[in-house]
Amino acid sequence: MSSYREEKRRDEALRAEQAREDRRLELEAAAQREQIRAEEKRKDAEAKRRQEQADKKARLAEKQARKAAAAARRAKLLRWLKQNPATLFVGFVMVASIVPAILSQIGALTGASVAAPMAGLLAAMLEGGAWAITFMGKQAEDAGREPRKYRIGTWAVATVAAAVNFWHGWEQYSEHRWVAFVLGASSLFAIYIWDLKTHGSHGKTKAERKAEKARRAHVAARRKHHPEIVEQAVKLQSALPFGVLDDEAAFAAAWRIHTGAEPGLSAQLYATATEAVLSLGAAFELGDNVREELLETGFKAARLNPFAELTQTRTIQAGLGENAPSTPAPTGRTDGPEGKSEEELEALLPDALAAAAELVAEGRQISAHGLAKKLQIRRVDAAALRNRVIEQRRLHVA
């Protein structure tokens, strides 16, 4: 009996213990669920806060962007107004001219017993037609087409509108006839202002007009002095596809065909220059035998090349060769198969000077080949003597 009670007590204790454990687990689960809900609620609140901050930043950025865009538009408008004040006032004057013109035409037509709607349409036809043709002409001009017919049409329609306004003003304001002229001008003035705006700045500048005048004078002088070459240039241009040869290229080609030389030069000019060089050489010889002053003057004058501006080549100085410094005569020569000794060359120098004078008189340069032929010596000795002769002549006139 006692054992039964003990077992019963143990069972009750176990059940009580199990109930407490179940209660504890239930409380722990409830606490965990509450903690999870609190964490989820906290995360939702955090996400909501972040979203609100992001939305606020986006709204602020959008607002700043709108302000910046508006500021940019205002700055662009102000900049345009500063750069185009004429356009602004032209627009104002055009509106101030067109509106009275339309009102005057409506008054004229209604005064002639034309119904008001029809009078409004007819007035719009006149003024609107003039401006429609005007803008069509501007579009054609921008596209590179001839706008003349559009401009003629514009002024024709504007003249009709001006006549209507003038007639209306003449009858309506009989005590003040000058008003008729003002009303008539209202249909023409806007067109005139627009024409000045679109075409007034297209004229040539003073420098361009001066250059154009000089070009025409140049063409006229070319046709006067070189008619055959101009005719040949025209033939060349007509023989080739259009635009292949411009005027200057065609004239240069025709000049080469007729003269065989570059433009500006010819066989006659070369012959004249050659004759002048021969005469100058003879003057050198005369100066050598007559007076030292003549030699110096002739030598300095010979430095002028008659073709310097045309050919752009290095000049020839009275038979002395190019302006560039000559290579000095070699020193320390020795006897042997290379040429004569220094003493022998010094002895030949007077003969070489005389031979050089003969070469100059003949219109030839003082060259090693010429001296060798004149003196009957070897080419290497003639080259050495040539350098000495040139040096002697330069020292003589210095």
Is 85 or 57 the better-scoring residue by pLDDT? 57
pTM of the model: 0.41
The stretch 119-135 carries a mean pLDDT of: 85
Residue located via tokens 């007076």: 291
Is 72 or 284 the better-scoring residue by pLDDT? 72
Q: Cα–Cα distance between 197 and 185 in angstroms, integer?
A: 18
Q: Cα–Cα distance between 291 and 69 in angstroms, integer?
A: 91
CA distances from 52 to 46, 59, 274 (A): 10, 10, 100
The stretch 355-378 carries a mean pLDDT of: 77
Percentage, residues of the chain above pLDDT 70: 81
- CB 255 within 8 Å of CB 227: no
Answer whether residue 292 shows pLDDT above 60. no
Looking from the CA of 354 toward its CB, the CA atoms found within 13 Å total 6
Cα dihedral sign, 386-388-390-392: negative
Task: Give the pLDDT band of residue 217 (cuts 50, 70, 90).
Answer: very high
Least confident piece of the model among 45-54, 145-154, 303-312, 340-349: 303-312
Per-residue model confidence as pLDDT tens digits over 176-200: 888 888 888 888 888 888 888 777 6
- Could you tell me which residues come within 8 angstroms of residue 114 by beta carbon, excluding any fewer than 6 positions away? 122
Per-residue model confidence as pLDDT tens digits over 228-283: 988 988 888 888 888 888 888 888 888 888 888 888 888 787 778 777 777 766 66
Per-residue model confidence as pLDDT tens digits over 15-68: 888 888 888 888 888 888 888 988 888 888 888 889 999 999 999 999 899 988
Q: Cα–Cα distance between 135 and 150 in angstroms, integer?
A: 9
Cα dihedral sign, 278-282-287-293: negative
The stretch 157-174 carries a mean pLDDT of: 85
Q: Cα–Cα distance between 341 and 372 in angstroms, integer?
A: 16
The stretch 375-389 carries a mean pLDDT of: 83
Task: Give the pLDDT band of residue 299 (cuts 50, 70, 90).
Answer: low
Two tokens, residue 145: 């087409």
To the nearest whole number, what is the mean pLDDT of the chain? 77
The stretch 369-389 carries a mean pLDDT of: 82
Greatest mean pLDDT among 135-149, 210-224, 317-331: 210-224
**322 phi and psi, to 5 degrees?**
-70, 160
Two tokens, residue 256: 């080469």
